[in-house]
Chains A and B, each alone.
Chain A
Amino acid sequence: HTEPRVEVGPVGTCRTRRLHVSFREVGWHRWVIAPRGFLANFCQGTCALPETLRGPGGPPALNHAVLRALMHAAAPTPGAGSPCCVPERLSPISVLFFDNSDNVVLRHYEDMVVDECGCR
Chain B
Amino acid sequence: APAPASMGPAAALLQVLGLPEAPRSVPTHRPVPPVMWRLFRRRDPQEARVGRPLRPCHVEELGVAGNIVRHIPDSGLSSRPAQPARTSGLCPEWTVVFDLSNVEPTERPTRARLELRLEAESEDTGGWELSVALWADAEHPGPELLRVPAPPGVLLRADLLGTAVAANASVPCTVRLALSLHPGATAACGRLAEASLLLVTLDPRLCPLPRLRR
Contacts from A to B (Cβ < 8 Å): 28, 30-31, 33-35, 60, 62, 91-94, 96-111, 113
Chain A residues lying within 8 Å of B79, measured Cβ to Cβ, are none
Once the chains bind, are A100 and B21 in contact (CB under 8 Å)?
Answer: yes
30 example contacts (A-B, Cβ-Cβ < 8 A) are as follows: A30-B25, A30-B26, A31-B24, A31-B25, A33-B32, A34-B40, A62-B214, A94-B43, A94-B44, A96-B36, A96-B37, A97-B23, A99-B102, A100-B21, A100-B23, A100-B27, A100-B102, A101-B99, A101-B101, A101-B102, A102-B27, A104-B36, A106-B69, A107-B67, A107-B68, A107-B206, A108-B43, A108-B206, A109-B206, A110-B56
List residues of chain B with CB within 8 A of the CB of A93: 45
- Min CB distance B53 to A, Å, is 11
Number of CB contacts from chain A to chain B under 8 A:
89
B interface: dominant SS: loop
**Distance A84 CA – B28 CA, assembled complex (angstroms):** 47
Q: Count B-side interface residues using an 8 Å CB cutoff.
A: 38
Q: How far is the CA of A33 from the CA of B21 in the complex (A)?
A: 17
| Known contacts A102-B28, A105-B68; is-contact A31 B23 (Cβ 8 Å) | yes
Whether B208 sits at the interface, judged by CB under 8 Å, is yes
**Given A106-B40, A106-B43: A28 and B73 within 8 A (CB)?**
no
A-contact bits for B181-214, CB 8 A (1 contact / 0 none) = 0000000000000000000000000111000001
Distance to closest chain B CB from A84 (angstroms): 17
